[in-house]
Chain A
Amino acid sequence: EADIYQTPRYLVIGTGKKITLECSQTMGHDKMYWYQQDPGMELHLIHYSYGVNSTEKGDLSSESTVSRIRTEHFPLTLESARPSHTSQYLCASSGRLAYEQFFGPGTRLTVL
């Protein structure tokens, strides 16, 4: 089992609220990723990081931001949540020598 954790698992929140989705891994992986996935649809990469203080935007434009102050922690923040942000957010990590990515259980976000 991969040691990558996401909290909260489910979040229902009102429009305009600021939210932070947490992601932590204990595998010492230098690379971390955030994906967005709507039900029955494909994964879209929205952010990635190759190490501390390194963050890049992914293929899908997102209003969210990320930070990487510690190797094990890669939080995603939405300053003002909107209904269009309703989706599942999946965090993943990979090691220095491998392409394989390990996924966290995801956060299912609903913005009312």
Chain B
Amino acid sequence: RKEVEQDPGPFNVPEGATVAFNCTYSNSASQSFFWYRQDCRKEPKLLMSVYSSGNEDGRFTAQLNRASQYISLLIRDSKLSDSATYLCVVNMPTSGSARQLTFGSGTQLTVLP
């Protein structure tokens, strides 16, 4: 089983749609959670951190369920520019490497005009 698992995708949605991505992680001791965005042939960039109480940044809402070890990202009113691969990222505390991040394989989103 992968340490961080994401929806397989790809997601093809019309402009203006609401789309949700899900992610599960295996290490219950994980403390920090993020969503990164990676455009085609570019480097990953932080989209938002995920806080225990859930958090929102404009059209983006992230939620964390520690009991189920589950993270979600909701995008409302999707734009063409939202087309990218969305990476679920979790820190996996291990001996001597408390600040390593584990990246999911990503979910590809294409927003269609």
- Listed in ascending order, the chain A residues whose CB lies under 8 Å from chain B are 31, 39, 41-43, 45, 48, 50, 56, 88, 90, 94, 99-106, 108
B43 at the interface (CB under 8 A from A): yes
Please state if A99 and B101 are interface contacts (CB–CB under 8 Å).
Answer: yes
| Interface-located stretch among B21-29, B44-52, B66-74 | B44-52
Please state if B45 and A99 are interface contacts (CB–CB under 8 Å).
Answer: no
**A-B contact count, CB below 8 Å?**
41
From A31, which residue of chain B is reached at the shortest CB distance?
B99
Residues of B within 8 A of A88 (CB): 41
Please state if B49 and A100 are interface contacts (CB–CB under 8 Å).
Answer: yes
Contacts A42-B103, A43-B103; is A90 near B43 (CB within 8 Å)? yes
From A1, which residue of chain B is reached at the shortest CB distance?
B45
- Listed in ascending order, the chain B residues whose CB lies under 8 Å from chain A are 31-32, 34, 41-46, 49, 87, 91, 96-97, 99-101, 103-106
Please state if B105 and A99 are interface contacts (CB–CB under 8 Å).
Answer: no
Please state if B43 and A106 are interface contacts (CB–CB under 8 Å).
Answer: yes
Please state if A43 and B97 are interface contacts (CB–CB under 8 Å).
Answer: no
